[in-house]
Structure 1
């Protein structure tokens, strides 16, 4: 079939300026193109490689609180980035749903200014049967976080090794 990855996704929004600020300044995505007249902004986490991975456009018709997208997840390049996002979200007052270990990844689930759920996550490289979701406390020393995640995995989740398992790709 030829599909190798998700190219991009988008959201209909009410307040383009607020959402542009959140995804640009708070999440740190690069605006690669925009057309205020048509109410659209294109973002990329790697603009030298991909013109856009995420689009916002005015025209949302669903009332506040409607469930639309399940989540939009952004893979991080390291454990330190996860901790930096946690500090940024706390400083910005970004609503957090949960901070978890999935065994194969640590994730911070958050809500953008219009209530859409997002996630930033760091793949650990450990293969773990899913679903596996245990709350993780990021308000501690990094070594203590890693030890807590290991303990949660050992106590609650069997690892698996499928024939095609391998380390996460950058």
Structure 2
């Protein structure tokens, strides 16, 4: 169930080194290049690389050359990718660590387990799984994903139960559906 009319589809962002970014997203995060080409831009031609992990989506990420050098900070807060399991999340963490990616941060948000890591140009990536409960946000606490799945889930649930707003995800979802006029 979702609101009719619009669904979120993809994101595009400007990059400095399109080849390096393409390599990172295809090799480490298993995106596939679906298309590439060039368009005219205000400062000359722009190269575009279209990436997807879903054969039903032509692209989920578009990399576009021409990111200005003079931006004083990274304007992308984060790009989030939902993992299909805790096992996948842990495997992606190990893959990023093996690649030598600096600044990796596994955390719990109470209602999700996340791994944050920068891509080669400093865009923050979040790889995450939802947990079967909800807690009030924002919340960010380090978590040890080297523990067994059972230990991680037991620790995450015990922590979440101690936080404001704890409730089963289904209960939270029903309330959001009501507030969105979908119930």
Shared fold, TM over 0.5: yes
Q: Does 1:55 align with 2:57?
A: no
Contact 2:111 2:134 in 1 (8 A): yes
Distance apart, 1:63 and its partner CA: 3.5
Distance 1:65 1:115, change over 3 A: farther
Q: Does 1:109 align with 2:116?
A: yes
Question: Which of 148, 151, 157 is residue 144 of structure 1 equivalent to?
Answer: 151
Instruction: Give, in whole Å, the separation in 2 of the partners of 1:63 and 1:111.
Output: 19
Secondary structure in 1 matching 2:162 = helix
Question: Which of 131, 137, 142 is residue 130 of structure 1 equivalent to?
Answer: 137
Q: 1:35 maps to which residue?
A: 37
Instruction: Give, in whole Å, the separation in 1 of the partners of 2:163 and 2:134.
Output: 14
Which stretch of structure 1 is more off in the superposition, 79-88 or 123-132?
123-132
Which stretch of structure 1 is more off in the superposition, 59-68 or 143-152?
59-68
Give the number of equivalent residue pairs: 165
Secondary structure in 2 matching 1:18 = helix
Distance apart, 1:38 and its partner CA: 4.5
Instruction: Give, in whole Å, the separation in 2 of the partners of 1:139 and 1:3.
Output: 42
Q: 2:175 maps to which residue?
A: 164
Instruction: Give, in whole Å, the separation in 1 of the partners of 2:132 and 2:176.
Output: 10
Gaps (5+ residues) in structure 1? none
Gaps (5+ residues) in structure 2? 39-44, 178-183
Deviations 1:98-132 (A, max 9, x none): 21112221111110001111111111232222222
Secondary structure in 2 matching 1:152 = helix
Instruction: Give, in whole Å, the separation in 2 of the partners of 1:56 and 1:44.
Output: 11
Query: Which runs of structure 2 are paired with 1:63-102 in the superposition (5 Å)?
Result: 63=70, 66-102=73-109
Q: Does 1:45 align with 2:53?
A: yes
Which structure is larger by alpha-carbon Rg, 1 or 2? 2
Question: TM-score scaled to structure 2, two decimals?
Answer: 0.80
